[in-house]
Amino acid sequence: MNKLQKVLRKRSKKLLNIYLTAGYPNIDNTLDILYALNEQEVDLVELGIPFSDPLADGLTIQQSSEMALKNGMSVERLFAILKMADSDRLPPLIAMGYLNQMIQFGEEQFIKDAKDSHIDGLIIPDLPMDIYQRDYQDLFRKYDMGISFLITPETSNKRIQSALELSNNFLYVVSSSATTGGKGGFSLSTMDYLKAVQRIETEIPKLVGFGIHDKTTFEAAVKYCDGAIVGSAFIRMLQKSNDYHKDIATFVEKIRT
């Protein structure tokens, strides 16, 4: 069992997954931010591999990706940085990228290098489940790489079952019909949706993403699910921060207590 799986098995805990765009705000501090998040005992970190055309992402993550690319971040560079990391100081890691990046790098090489870079799971939002099964599942198994598929309020029961069968880390529950970066509170229909998700029976934890930006939305999510992913709000905090260590500690504390 890898580091990520150990964390995910602790179902009693309200899992906090922080999203960070790799290479934002600088290339040099990606590792420092990861170490700092680990010190705050964040349960896992989703590293976004910056992409020129991030369809599913709202403005905040788009802009952070653009900045990261300007900084010179790339798939190759990210793997090189992570391979040099002190693995004891890294939090459990997953990576989020778009299929084009994986294809261009070479799919098998991508999965192998990700694994060597302490990444135990991938989220590829534009990889359809049937294509994964047909073309990639064997490769993921070969390198013991996990994967999480997304469900949304529009996802049919049949597809939810497929997503559960294929996801081996956690199920990614998209809170509402929107791109990432929502700032408001949860609507009644979102709450109803999360309640419905709670009733889905599965062995793997359910993590809620999109629109989780403060303690209120985090608490609402973990009331019905096993954890939540905070992305754009974390990026917005980094944007303004002059002292990452201090501000990351405050940010995590504010969400958790």
Q: Which residues are catalytic?
A: 46, 57
Q: Which is nearer to another protein, 10 or 55 (CB)?
A: 55
Tell the smallest beta-carbon distance from residue 80 to another protein (Å): 13
- 103 touching another protein, by CB under 8 A: yes
Cα–Cα distance, 117 to 124 (Å, whole number): 17
Cα–Cα distance, 208 to 212 (Å, whole number): 8
Say if residues 230 and 19 touch (Cβ distance below 8 Å). Answer: yes
Q: Which two tokens stand for residue 182?
A: 């929502």
DSSP class of residue 92?
P
Tell the smallest beta-carbon distance from residue 2 to another protein (Å): 25
Select from 14-22, 25-33, 150-158, 197-205 the region that touches another protein (CB under 8 A): 150-158
Cα–Cα distance, 120 to 1 (Å, whole number): 10
- 185 touching another protein, by CB under 8 A: no
Cα–Cα distance, 115 to 98 (Å, whole number): 17
Strands (E), 22-128: 44-48, 93-96, 119-123
Q: Which is nearer to another protein, 45 or 171 (CB)?
A: 171
Binding to another protein (CB under 8 A) within 197-256 occurs at none
- 100 touching another protein, by CB under 8 A: yes
- 125 touching another protein, by CB under 8 A: yes
Q: Which amino acid is at 177?
A: S
Here's the x/- map for another protein, 12-51, by CB under 8 A: it reads as ---------------------------------------x
Cα–Cα distance, 134 to 137 (Å, whole number): 7
Q: Which is nearer to another protein, 29 or 152 (CB)?
A: 152
Q: Which amino acid is at 27?
A: I
Q: Which is nearer to another protein, 181 or 227 (CB)?
A: 181
Q: Which of 184, 246, 177, 255 is nearest to 219 (CA)?
A: 255
- 155 touching another protein, by CB under 8 A: yes
Q: Which is nearer to another protein, 110 or 251 (CB)?
A: 110
Select from 16-24, 102-110, 111-119, 217-225 the region that touches another protein (CB under 8 A): 102-110
Tell the smallest beta-carbon distance from residue 37 to another protein (Å): 25
- 152 touching another protein, by CB under 8 A: yes
Q: Which two tokens stand for residue 114?
A: 């990700």
Say if residues 149 and 166 touch (Cβ distance below 8 Å). Answer: yes
- 150 touching another protein, by CB under 8 A: yes
Q: Which of 131, 88, 95, 135 is nearest to 115 (CA)?
A: 95
User: Considering only residues 28, 41, 126, 253, which one is a binding residue for another protein as defined by CB under 8 A?
Assistant: 126
User: What's the N-to-C CA distance of the chain in angstroms?
Assistant: 30
Chain positions contacting another protein, by CB under 8 A: 51-53, 55-56, 58-59, 62, 66, 69, 74-76, 98-105, 125-128, 131, 149-152, 154-156, 159, 163, 174, 177-179
